[in-house]
A and B are shown apart, each in its own frame.
Chain A
Amino acid sequence: MTMVTVRPEEQEAAAAATPEYEKAASRAASRRGLLLALPAYAYLVLFFAVPLGIVMIYSFATRNRFGGTDLSGWNLEAYRKLGDPIVRDILFRSLWLAILTTLICLVVSYPFAYFMATRGPVVRNVMLIFVMIPFWTNFLVRNYAWRVLLGNDGLFTNISEAIGLGERELLFTTSAVMIGLVYGSLPFMVLPLYASIERIDLSLIEASRDLYASGFQTLRRILFPLSMPGVIAGSILVFVPSLGAYVTPEILGGAKTTLLGSYIVTQFLTARNWPVGASLSFVLMAVMLVATVVYFRTGGRNL
């Protein structure tokens, strides 16, 4: 709100203000604002918008007999390929997995975030650090660590054997991928949830209890609706990367359960069908775009 007024030009002496001068001053202010944003704009346009345009162009191109791509004979063939049963299965499997990952993250994170948001500042900060600690290790390393835990002689197999469930191999299954995805995404759910629960006036919870609501009713009618911005933000932050996840399914998943990310990479590198890879990438982005718009529509209003 309060901004130093930018003068249109350096003046020798101050003069009485006029509406024209005021208008010129505000124009100058917005010009300078634009100038400040320019480096980031330029970077985004050059390395994001332009490549995106290239991907879009390729999605309408034709694959030639030699595995190359001809930038001619524009068609929708690549998009038609998405109706293919194999691709459709992969699409649905990825969607399902992303939704499930998001839900599990939400259920696991919500109590944690609530606990954290209602502690004193010291406990709060310690817990925040705990949430961040995994980021100190490389993402790839962490995924390989899960390979050890879930593998043949790993912790999980040993536990399931010990409690009499028999030898269960989790590695290279969809469950393994989901465990890995939930693990990797938890902080992205916890942090927005924490931020939005922390802002809720705790006397509202007391008021709800005073007005005969049980603990669960208070959660359902007061706490959850008021933390909706965090729920939606966290869900998008988990859902979107899970949908296009590549590294975790590659490392923990099996060959039978190809997901969208791996499939797109295969199209570009192995199958050498760039138009299909490009069109899939584009559809994926459209889904994410819709999710984000939904967020700003619902979350934005409640903020």
Chain B
Amino acid sequence: MDTTRLIIVAVGGQGNLLSSRVLGEAACRLDIPVRMSEIHGMAQRGGVVESAMVFGDAQSTIISDGEADLFLAFEPLEALRALNRCNSKTIVITNTSSLPPFTAAIGKGTYPDIEAIKQLIKEKVGRLITLDANALAREAGNELSVNIVLLGALIKADVLPITADSVKDAIRETTKAAFVETNLKAFDLGFAAV
């Protein structure tokens, strides 16, 4: 089957490893070949965490610069920083809620204006989808569900061969029982936001 390549970037602690896990489980349920790769270790020390997911018949588990079909960013500054993973056809989904790095707090660099970030991304890629995933996660009942809100938006973008139902089943199976209802609501809110 055709290969679809997805890059997810986030800040450590935002839960992107769980979201790629849920997506991987959903793919398995549908018997869609999936391979993924992630760099962790520093994740809990406030650095950038990146996952690559390759759906389809490829054997590689990583994605070269310019070769992401889909690009999901949990944080707008990190969307901009990792934009070289995209090409002019890539579909980009980014959270608009910012998490300024500590360096900006101590005056080493300036956090760019969100509208400017959106404009820069929009003119370079195939399609830009933006949503305030933190606000939607709060609406769902837990700000930590940002990762699941963004999964909802990702599935609605309709590029991956993965259904909303299979993701919801994977949420039920993979996420902690106490959070399942909130996570399902978060998924629906993200799905409806696109």
Do A and B associate with each other? no
